[in-house]
Amino acid sequence: MEVAPGEHLPHDRPDGDASWLAYGDVLTEQGDVRGELIRMEWRHARSRPADREALRRDVDALVAEHRHRWDAELPDGVTAVTRRYGFATKVAVDWSDDAPALIERALRERFVTALCIAPAAQDDEDYEDWEGELDEDGEPAPPPLVAAGALAGLDLSRLVELDLSYLRIGGPGAEALAASLATGRIRTLDLRYCAMDDAGLAALAASPALGGLRRLHLQRNALTARGMCSLHRFERLVELDLRYNEIGEEGVDALLAAPFIGSVERLLLYRADVSDAGAKKLALDSRIPATLRSYWRSV
């Protein structure tokens, strides 16, 4: 997509009102109604409480009138998940052979900095419930892993948020993903139900693009106590989900030694994940915030 004059301004200061207002003037000159939307949102945020409801109705009406046209700007197969001033900021793509090309096109959009790569339509439930072939025990076999090479070829350097939940990338896929994140500034990474092992987590932890990671979701993977040491690379974590992994007491020891443990705000685990002994350590160790200790004393 061609970059308009002045379009760099919101990228330079994405949360700065002056940047967006200046860009709104550019859009208005080009006849793009999103220039007016920026002005309306700005007025709404600063209006008196008595005026906000009417202004919100005007904003919503403008968005409803033009949303279909804005959605049509995205490539077929790419869905806008969230928008700012009418521009897609987070998009979703279903995984398929065509997904890498679609993702490349989607990330050319002006303000897309968050991406969800979803499993193929038939795999949109937990992979445990996948109704495919049966394994040697007669149980439903999980879907096959995503081809690691396809992940390695993606350029994800502009993203701040990446959601691969329920996409079975496995350990090799996680290592390939780390290669595609050689540069960047990811702050939120969702890898729930990805069939990832300790080696895959170690590869991701070594990626320079994840040094500023704040939120990491690893629910139900194949992680063990050994993998918990890799988490030490993520020094700025404030939210960590490790539910349904075999962490054990040894894994708790590794977590308690992590540099983020004193400032983490959410640490999602179950007693069964860490054992009774591990739960006791979480309840008593003064290195973790008092609110988290209080929770573990109550379970």
Binned at pLDDT 50, 70 and 90, residue 169 comes out as: very high
Asked if residues 111 and 89 have their Cβ atoms less than 8 Å apart, the reply is yes
Q: What is the pLDDT of residue 98?
A: 92
Rounded to whole angstroms, the Cα distance separating 238 from 254 reads: 17
**pLDDT tens digits along 17-32:** 788 999 999 999 999 9
- From residue 128, give the alpha-carbon distance in Å to each of 46, 166, 200, 243: 49, 10, 20, 16
Name the band, by pLDDT with cuts 50, 70 and 90, for residue 155. Answer: confident
The pLDDT, as a whole number, for residue 170 is 92
pLDDT beyond 70 at 137: no
Mean pLDDT of 63-67: 95
DSSP letter at 136 equals T
**Residue 12 has what DSSP assignment?**
H
Q: Is the pLDDT of residue 8 over 90?
A: no
Mean per-residue pLDDT of the chain: 88
- Residue 136 pLDDT > 70, yes or no? no
Mean pLDDT of 238-257: 98
Q: How confident is the model at residue 144 (pLDDT cuts 50, 70, 90)?
A: confident
**Higher-scoring residue by pLDDT: 61, 149:** 61
- Whether residue 243 has pLDDT greater than 80: yes
More confident residue, 81 or 299: 81
CATH 3.80.10.10-classified regions of the chain: 119-298
Q: How confident is the model at residue 145 (pLDDT cuts 50, 70, 90)?
A: confident
pLDDT of residue 180: 84
pLDDT digits (tens, 9 = 90+) for 115-135: 999 998 654 444 444 444 444
Per-residue pLDDT, averaged over 45-51, amounts to 93
Helices (H), the chain: 8-12, 17-29, 34-45, 49-72, 99-106, 148-152, 170-180, 198-205, 225-228, 248-256, 271-284, 290-298
Rounded percentage of the chain residues whose pLDDT exceeds 70:
87
Strands 78-84 and 87-94: what pairing?
A: antiparallel
Contact 177, 201 (CB under 8 A): no
pTM of the entire predicted model: 0.87
- CATH fold of 119-298, please? 3.80.10
Give the model's pLDDT for residue 55.
Answer: 95
Mean pLDDT, range 103-117, rounded to an integer: 94
Enclosing H/E stretch for 221: none
DSSP conformation class of 120: P
